[in-house]
Amino acid sequence: MNVTRRGISIVVLAALAAIVAGFASAARAEDAEEPIVAAREAFADGWFPWYDSQTDSLKPLEFRDSRGWQPPSWELGRVLNIVAWTLLGLLLATLVVLLIHFARNQAARTSADSAAESDPLLDADRVGSLPFLAERRRDDLLGQARFHYQQGNFSEAIIYLFSYQLLELDKYSVIRLAAGKTNRQYLRETARVAPLRTALERTMLSFEGVFFGRRLLDRAGFEACWNGLPEFEQQLRAVT
């Protein structure tokens, strides 16, 4: 009898313990659920771009440029076409400039040569700067030098040759003829073009030996100056 009562008491206590445990577990579950429910209600009342209240889940965000700028799309063929036409235009412009420059130089040289050839008598001011031509012919100085050379009169030929070289240097603005200037001054003015200085100095020394030293010039001495005349004229035209 006592055993039976003791067994009933244990069963009742166990049932009560189970009921109490169940209530405690439900209370804990209810306590844990309250923050989640409160968060759902708070999110449902407001607008959040990253929360979907219908599915109770997060959704991805989309970012847009407020200025609406989009990077330009370039086709490689179009870019190469533009570059090619630009380079062609620059090349044509350069050619036009070079042609104009060449035409102007040619016109200037032709004008200078025509002026020298059209006037058989040399300009009085220029010739007046050469006192050793005072009693000599003043037309075609180079022709006079050639004539006296062929006649064997080398001393007279060197005077005309030297006069011709000075007038040519003045015409191409290498020197500036002026009354009272010495041959050494003319020589210094040609220093910037070494070949012209060398040719002029060689002729000048032979000329001074004849004109001031009263010495006769032989064929070899004159031909040393005469044979350098083509190079002198070539260098003279290369200056301009």
pLDDT single digits (tens) 119-169: 444 565 566 678 787 778 877 899 999 999 999 999 999 999 999 999 999
Q: Pick 66 or 140 by higher pLDDT.
A: 140
Specify the pLDDT at position 100: 87
Exposure pattern of 32-71 as b/e (b: 16+ CB <10 Å)?
Answer: eeeeeeeeeeeeeeeeeeebeeeeeeeeeeeeeeeeeeee
- 165-192 average pLDDT score: 90
pLDDT for residue 68: 55
pLDDT tens sequence across 75-132: 677 777 888 888 888 888 888 888 887 777 666 555 555 544 444 445 655 666 787 8
pLDDT at 132: 81
Check residue 147 and give its pLDDT: 95
- The pLDDT of residue 7 is 45
pLDDT digits 0-9 by tens, 199-239: 999 999 999 999 999 999 999 999 999 999 999 999 988 88
Give the model's pLDDT for residue 59: 62
Model confidence pLDDT, tens digit, residues 2-57: 444 444 444 444 444 544 454 445 445 445 556 566 556 655 655 556 566 666 66
